[in-house]
Chains A and B, each alone.
Chain A
């Protein structure tokens, strides 16, 4: 990153001094700006911008992180797009989102609607529902791995008391992703609730009152008034969930490590394995750039779509 240069535009509100001293003052401001910005600009340049470009450069090479790099052009990308494991990783990530989003949105909306009424102990309840959000993903994954332990876990024990044979959860390829989804939804429910609660409280009470006067029942008001006016919050939740969902890693690593039989291998896990287990830093970087492209696309959709799909009050 280049250092910010001294301003040559006329500085706002600096007309009282003469020309010569004004340019000297501007130069001094430039030095001050440099001094105030360097402590943040240097690390950001060295540990975000340079590595990001570096990832692009590495992605064009074959490299095992130790030896010399061999130029392969777009070969890594071509190989990745042909590799069924890549498609599977994106597929698993989408599967995760397909389970996770309805759970957190449905649950979060229900809770937000409930807590938006004059409920006793509302602050305490909100605090309880939010608690998992501040817990680390590793702890969440470990606790849920224990809850969902197929042989001695409390969930299957409870199911057995009810006469139901519980599934193998994270030991069963058919249930491994469902296990990750359950744990993740539990952690993020409070987060979605807080976002939607803020959205609900921004809805003007006059609008709801008017609908009530017009004879609209609870469901009708929810469907025709609340949900449309809540669309900015909904949109934010969906976009953030997509962006975070494509980056899902910690809980999968700690809960299933991508298994069994790769049934829960998500994109970031594949990047980590390619780079640090198989020594294919080039392919890992190429995959990370593909992931970045997907996330960037979602972000752009957010910026453009906000205007088109969102109803503001």
Chain B
């Protein structure tokens, strides 16, 4: 992952107008507003807290509602998840697919972004329109023929079959093209005079200058892959190849009442996203808000 956390955050949308305002007086209304917003935040956090509490309350959901502070907290649900159930393998599957999808989308996206921003070739605008149009096609339209296609290639129940449709996305191209357009053209011209070709300009000048956009894309691509459900559900059949969300949802069918194990799985599944979110909140919010995809 690129240096997501080390860059200083530029002034984001929030807080730009606040310092100019005089310090607001403490009124009943303002205190009430704080109380309501904080109470709302606690309500928003409660499902997460409840998942953690449940995961350390052995035997949860069999007979009674667990208590908020467990009598005998235990990590047995986590132990079961990683020893009796194949979640160590499942975690590796998901991590591997997410890292591969992220790196591939960054590579293919940046290269296409360079071509659309810097190379003048015939049919460029039309081709870019085709790229954009692919963003409008919902995955649901593609699953049946994609499945048939993967069957032809013999890729059912293979990691490659799960990975291939995520190798390149129009969103990546779109996001990175905006960034490449911002890189001053004088830089390329100077490099050209120094005898640099397109590949050198791309790797030495453009890529270092679009790092924030690459970070946004990385966070976003990782999240999409880590949380993906429909396609992995269809293409990956054997339990040892499944991804985290698919295995987690299957757990529910198998152990309808073992809520401590299901919640332990949920907590583990949230952890990488939580870490990424804490490290790179700005990029996450940007990526989601700019695309409307979640």
Q: How far is the CA of A285 from the CA of B147 in the complex (A)?
A: 12
B145-185 residues with Cβ-Cβ distance < 8 A to A are 145-149, 151, 164-165, 167-170, 172-173
> Mask for B124-154, Cβ within 8 A of A = 1, else 0?
1001001100101111111111111101000
Question: Which residues of A are found within 8 Å of B40, using beta-carbon distances?
Answer: 111, 129
Question: Which residues of A are found within 8 Å of B142, using beta-carbon distances?
Answer: 47-48, 51-52, 55
Considering only CB atoms and an 8 Å cut-off, how many residues of chain B contact the other chain?
98
B144–chain A nearest beta-carbon distance, Å: 5
Question: Which residues of B are found within 8 Å of A254, using beta-carbon distances?
Answer: 229, 249, 252
The answer to whether A143 and B141 touch across the interface, beta carbons within 8 angstroms, is no
Classify chain A's interface size: 35 or more
B173–chain A nearest beta-carbon distance, Å: 6
The answer to whether B145 and A58 touch across the interface, beta carbons within 8 angstroms, is yes
A124–chain B nearest beta-carbon distance, Å: 8
Q: Say which one of B11-19, B71-79, B80-88, B208-216 lies at the interface with A.
A: B11-19
Q: Answer yes or no: B123 CB below 8 A from chain A CBs.
A: yes
Interface of A is mostly: helix
Question: Which residues of B are found within 8 Å of A152, using beta-carbon distances?
Answer: 61, 63-65
The answer to whether A154 and B263 touch across the interface, beta carbons within 8 angstroms, is no
Q: Answer yes or no: A299 CB below 8 A from chain B CBs.
A: yes
The answer to whether B36 and A144 touch across the interface, beta carbons within 8 angstroms, is no
Q: How far is the CA of A167 from the CA of B210 in the complex (A)?
A: 52
B281–chain A nearest beta-carbon distance, Å: 6
The answer to whether A289 and B141 touch across the interface, beta carbons within 8 angstroms, is yes
Partner of A292, one of B16, B107, B141, B149: B141
The answer to whether B121 and A4 touch across the interface, beta carbons within 8 angstroms, is yes
Q: How far is the CA of A32 from the CA of B201 in the complex (A)?
A: 12
B1-58 residues with Cβ-Cβ distance < 8 A to A are 13-18, 21, 23-24, 33-34, 36-38, 40-41, 44-45, 47-48, 50-51, 54
A-B residue pairs in contact (CB < 8 Å), sample of 29? A8-B122, A32-B119, A32-B198, A36-B198, A39-B168, A40-B172, A41-B127, A51-B142, A51-B146, A65-B148, A114-B33, A118-B21, A127-B281, A129-B44, A131-B277, A132-B47, A134-B274, A134-B284, A135-B273, A137-B229, A138-B248, A142-B263, A143-B263, A145-B252, A194-B289, A236-B292, A243-B292, A268-B140, A288-B144
